[in-house]
């Protein structure tokens, strides 16, 4: 089997990004160059590596098998390059992915603790939606990821080998409203009362659902503002221009001018934050990060 290093790098990037276009942008290639590299790999291996569909591509079973070997080979070459160039040992590096809701409190606190206790461990982080983080895990671009799920809590994906998922935190959604607004003196509201409100939602994309709207709300919500990060959404709430939903674990990060209340006549919206990784052994540095995340998740649960 005659494959090139460039082809293996392209394979890993397409598997992680989910589209030829996104992989090309990350690598600095044209889309046609990425397509040619994938076609060359498929010709060299004699198998179809990706299933093509309107929203992007997905690895086939042979593609997943080749990716596993590609990740091993590329990691080994990168380690050799570091050793020959005299760079620091990578055994102290950990790559963490997390959903946006986990960043402001759980991730920040865990990294602060790890920095004090194990300053030589270097953690790099990436915020993303669950689908993109799952692809990054499978592609070997992340060591661990914090993902959210709704009941019933199934396996994060259906690929092999099954991912190891450890529940860290049980959480629920609450409603963020202006402290000086219509609901200033309320601890709870009904679905009918908020159905006509102006909503602040998360930006949408192929990877992310419309976040910020209370699930199951009757009618069509009026979304006047869209923002990707929690800080912007919450400050828009404080400005009195709309309401949004937030995980209750963000209570300590809520800015002045915002109150958190419940929706009393709709089912409670439960969420679980889990630490997800590929099966197998972990490095001491990864174990140290996991321990810090467990500790602060337990603090938030109290």
CATH code of the domain containing 37:
1.10.10.10
Please report which confidence band the pLDDT of residue 207 belongs to, taking 50, 70 and 90 as the band edges.
very low
Residue 109 sits in the same domain as residue 41: no
| Residue 97 pLDDT | 96
How far is Cα 11 from Cα 54, in angstroms, rounded to an integer?
19
Among 52, 85, 118, give the residue marking a domain's end.
Answer: 85
Among 85, 119, 146, give the residue marking a domain's end.
Answer: 85
Residue 187 sits in the same domain as residue 165: no
| Residue 209 pLDDT | 47
Residue 116 sits in the same domain as residue 240: no
CB-CB contact of 145 with 137 (8 Å): yes
Is the confidence at residue 205, as pLDDT, over 70?
no
Residue 147 sits in the same domain as residue 76: no
CB-CB contact of 237 with 178 (8 Å): yes
- Helix, strand, coil percentages (3-state) for the chain, rounded to 5, are 45, 25, 35
Q: Which two tokens stand for residue 69?
A: 């070997």
CB-CB contact of 172 with 269 (8 Å): yes
pTM confidence score: 0.81
**Domain encompassing residue 18:** 5-85
Quote the number of domains for the chain.
Answer: 3
CB-CB contact of 139 with 64 (8 Å): no
CB-CB contact of 57 with 88 (8 Å): no
| Residue 100 pLDDT | 87
Please report which confidence band the pLDDT of residue 88 belongs to, taking 50, 70 and 90 as the band edges.
low
152: cis peptide before it, omega within 30°? yes
How far is Cα 13 from Cα 26, in angstroms, rounded to an integer?
8
Residue 290 sits in the same domain as residue 165: yes
Residue 132 sits in the same domain as residue 74: no
Please report which confidence band the pLDDT of residue 276 belongs to, taking 50, 70 and 90 as the band edges.
very high
Cα atoms in the Cβ-side hemisphere of radius 13 Å centred on 101: 27
Is the confidence at residue 300, as pLDDT, over 90?
no
């Amino acid at each position: 089997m005659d494959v090139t290093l460039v082809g293996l790098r392209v394979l890993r990037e397409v598997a992680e990004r989910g589209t030829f276009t996104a992989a090309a942008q990350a690598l600095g290639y044209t889309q046609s160059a990425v397509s040619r590299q994938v076609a060359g790999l498929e010709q060299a291996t004699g198998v179809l590596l990706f299933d093509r569909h309107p929203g992007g591509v997905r690895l086939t079973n042979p593609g997943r098998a080749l990716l596993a070997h590609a990740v091993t080979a590329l990691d080994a070459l990168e380690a050799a390059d570091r050793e020959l160039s005299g760079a620091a040992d990578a055994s102290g590096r950990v790559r963490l992915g997390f959903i946006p809701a986990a960043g402001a409190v759980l991730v920040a606190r865990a990294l602060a603790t790890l920095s004090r206790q194990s300053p030589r461990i270097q953690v790099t982080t990436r915020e993303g939606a669950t689908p993109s983080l799952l692809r990054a895990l499978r592609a070997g671009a992340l060591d661990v990821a914090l993902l959210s799920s709704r009941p019933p809590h199934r396996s994060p994906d259906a690929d092999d080998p099954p991912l190891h998922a450890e529940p860290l935190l049980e959480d629920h959604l609450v409603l963020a409203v202006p402290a000086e607004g219509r609901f200033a003196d309320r601890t709870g509201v009904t679905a009918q009362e908020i159905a006509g409100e102006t909503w602040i939602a998360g930006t949408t994309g192929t990877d992310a659902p419309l976040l910020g709207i209370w699930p199951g709300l009757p009618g069509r919500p009026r979304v006047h503002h869209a923002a990707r990060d929690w800080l912007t959404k919450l400050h828009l709430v404080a400005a009195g221009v709309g309401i949004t939903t937030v995980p209750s674990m963000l209570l300590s990060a809520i800015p002045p001018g915002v109150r958190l209340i419940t929706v009393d006549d709709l089912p409670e919206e439960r969420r679980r934050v889990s630490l997800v990784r590929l099966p197998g052994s972990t490095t001491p540095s990864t174990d140290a990060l996991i321990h810090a995340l467990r500790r602060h998740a337990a603090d938030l649960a109290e």
